[in-house]
Amino acid sequence: MIYQPPAGARDLLPLEVVQKAWINDLVQKVFQQFGYQRIVTSTLEWLDTLTAGGAIQPDMVIQLKDSYEGVLGLRPELTASIARAAVTRMAGNIYPQRLCYRANVFRTPPKSHYGSQIEHYQAGVELLFAGGIIADAEMIFLLAQCLDTLGIPDWQILLGEAELTRSLLAIFPEDIVKQVRSCLADLDFVTLDSLNLEPELRERALFIATLRGSPKEVLAKVATLDLDSSAREIVDNLNALIDLIELGSSTPIKITLDLSLLKTFDYYTGIVFEAISLSQNQSFLLGQGGRYDQLLKLYDPQNKPAPGVGFSLNIEEIYTSLLSTRQLPQHPPEIDCLVVPLSQEARIAAFKYANKLRQDEPNTRVEMDLGDRDQKLVRDYASHCRIKNIVWVGNDGAIKQEPLP
């Protein structure tokens, strides 16, 4: 099978590379406008590093053979690697730390999805050693700016609060709460309704499932419940966060508060959010993130806790959502000129001329013709490749330029 890539792997051809680079370059520019600095972490990590936070299960990781010290894995996401680097390699830096990245990640697909993609591309940010609603608001503003800059149609942000949802689930018995959480995370309301629950618990489960819509309206619903002081503080903070986003944004940000937005693991400790786009009768998960205030201590030698919040953008989903628009580049960058020696004796002069063009105008793209074809084939090639000019070089070094239509 040497003529095919492995199951789940794929090649990116030049135009797709250009288009995805355009997406990455734009979002990295936005990250930098907000003060984020790019970090590059290792593609390989210890399996223990990748699974420390509980978000990543070992069977998701593409594992390599045991080394002398432990099992290695290809990173399935970047947060764990960046948290490790920030705590161990950047411990003496001034806080907060604003870090951004663009990278490929690798995930083993579920057994029922054999052949699904195993290599993915992400770009994202991590705001470390910073808590509070101002940091949370910065994440939402930064995410919204990325989506606006890319020109993604019909996007919105789903916002949840992991700690508040856990508080609402606290009345469920320990043996049933995992099932309820799984139904909420998977939006499986049919199974949720069929669970063997007491009437009060069934009512609470279905109530949580309906906590989705206008932030102020959802929070008003939650406020009618008998909440403890911690939950009420979270509701107050969410109200303040929504006010800050609405009043601090120069353009409207469409936010749906969804308290059923819950992951099946305990990775997040505060806000959780997803960016989605509904266009062309399709739904795209553009990115996701949240607050993880218990993660950094796992990598600290003194087990010292520190807050963190971040998000990752799914480059493939963004790319697919933009294919129906005219936002993406439609062609690879044009070649400015093709330098063609008219004979073997003209090759030296042709190379000198091509090199001079590149040196005089560093942004100029210059191809050298490799010979062995007549002028008609040269013109056909240049036209097919959308080359702007042909430069013919004669035996005596004479230059003749031919602009192409």
Q: What is the CATH number of the domain that holds 247?
A: 3.30.930.10
Same structural domain, 199 and 215: yes
Same structural domain, 36 and 154: no
Same structural domain, 242 and 371: no
Beta carbons within 8 Å of 345's beta carbon, 6+ residues apart: 395
Specify the DSSP class assigned to residue 344: G
Same structural domain, 122 and 42: yes
Q: What is the pLDDT of residues 316-351, one digit of tens each?
A: 999 999 998 989 999 999 999 999 999 999 999 999
Q: Give the pLDDT confidence score for residue 68 in this predicted structure.
A: 75
- Evaluated on CA atoms 281, 151, 310, 102, the torsion sign reads positive
CA angle 48, 97, 129 (to 5 degrees): 70
Same structural domain, 68 and 4: yes
How far from 209 is each of 72, 88, 188, 196, CA to CA, in Å?
39, 40, 10, 17
Same structural domain, 62 and 165: no
Same structural domain, 67 and 148: no
Please answer whether residues 195 and 205 qualify as being in contact, where contact means their C-beta atoms are separated by less than 8 angstroms: yes
Q: Give the pLDDT confidence score for residue 263 in this predicted structure.
A: 65
CATH of the domain at 381: 3.40.50.800
Which domain does 320 fall in, by range? 1-131+293-333
pTM: 0.90
Q: How far apart are the C-alpha atoms of 103 and 77, rounded to whole Å?
A: 9
Question: Which segments in the chain show pLDDT lower than 50?
Answer: none
Same structural domain, 245 and 297: no
Same structural domain, 328 and 349: no
Where does a domain end: 307, 333, 359? 333
Q: Give the pLDDT confidence score for residue 37 in this predicted structure.
A: 97
H runs (alpha helix) in 151-257: 162-168, 174-185, 189-194, 199-209, 215-223, 229-248
Q: Give the pLDDT confidence score for residue 67 in this predicted structure.
A: 65
Q: Give the pLDDT confidence score for residue 182 in this predicted structure.
A: 82
Q: Give the pLDDT confidence score for residue 176 in this predicted structure.
A: 85
Same structural domain, 299 and 282: no
Domains contained in the chain, number? 3
Q: What is the pLDDT of residues 256-265, one digit of tens each?
A: 999 988 765 5
Same structural domain, 206 and 329: no
